[in-house]
Structure 1
């Protein structure tokens, strides 16, 4: 998956803080979609990833 700017450590920590602030105990597609802006800074990247969120979440659950 090609992104304009791949999330780094800071963006990953921002996303984790967003999840914690929401009291997330499980990850699902709607939660990922709602918090993606914490990790992805460019609209083009958000649009590209949003299309794939359900499949990515299912893949992660099966891992």
Structure 2
């Protein structure tokens, strides 16, 4: 018996507010405040919770990285 073929596509992981807060070193309340003001990384509301695509957080970090000197 052979293993089923898998495609190369993988879904972008959805991170919790706790995950992103730990990654950025910010309190969860800061992420909630950013979201309500349209700031910070783009988030997705799933039911009553926020989720962040890892790629969105990475893009946001890239856009807010100081330029090289």
Larger radius of gyration between Structure 1 and Structure 2: 2
TM-score with structure 1 setting the length: 0.29
Q: Greater RCO between the two (CA within 8 Å, min separation 6)?
A: 1
Which structure has the highest strand share of the two? 2
